[in-house]
C-alpha cells in the first residue's frame, strides 16, 4: 500500500489526480496540502492546511 502527497488539489488537474488517487485500490492514504479546507470527505484523505503557503 502506498501513501501519496499532493499539492494543488483545488486546481483542475489536481482535482482529477485527487479523484484517481482516492479511487486507486493500491493507495491507502492521500495527504493533500491546501491553503483552506475543502468540503471533500473521504476515509483515505488527510488535508494539511498551510495558511501562509507562499
Question: 12-49: per-residue pLDDT in tens?
Answer: 999 999 999 999 999 999 999 998 888 899 999 999 99
> What separation in angstroms does the CA of 4 have from each of 9, 11, 52?
12, 17, 22
In this structure, are residues 39 and 12 in contact, taking their beta carbons and an 8 Å threshold? no
The pLDDT of residue 19: 95
pLDDT for res 10: 85
Confidence at residue 50, expressed as pLDDT on a 0 to 100 scale: 92
Q: Give all strands of the β-sheet with 2-7 in edge-to-edge order.
A: 2-7, 27-34, 45-49
Measured CA to CA, the distance from residue 36 to residue 23 in angstroms comes to: 23
Check if the beta carbon of residue 31 is closer than 8 Å to that of residue 7: no
pTM (two decimals):
0.86
Amino acid at each position: 500500500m502506498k501513501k501519496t502527497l499532493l499539492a494543488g488539489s483545488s486546481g483542475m488537474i489536481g482535482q482529477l489526480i485527487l479523484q484517481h488517487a482516492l479511487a486507486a485500490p493500491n493507495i491507502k492514504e492521500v495527504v493533500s496540502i491546501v491553503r483552506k479546507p475543502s468540503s471533500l470527505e473521504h476515509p483515505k484523505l488527510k488535508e494539511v492546511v498551510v495558511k501562509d503557503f507562499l
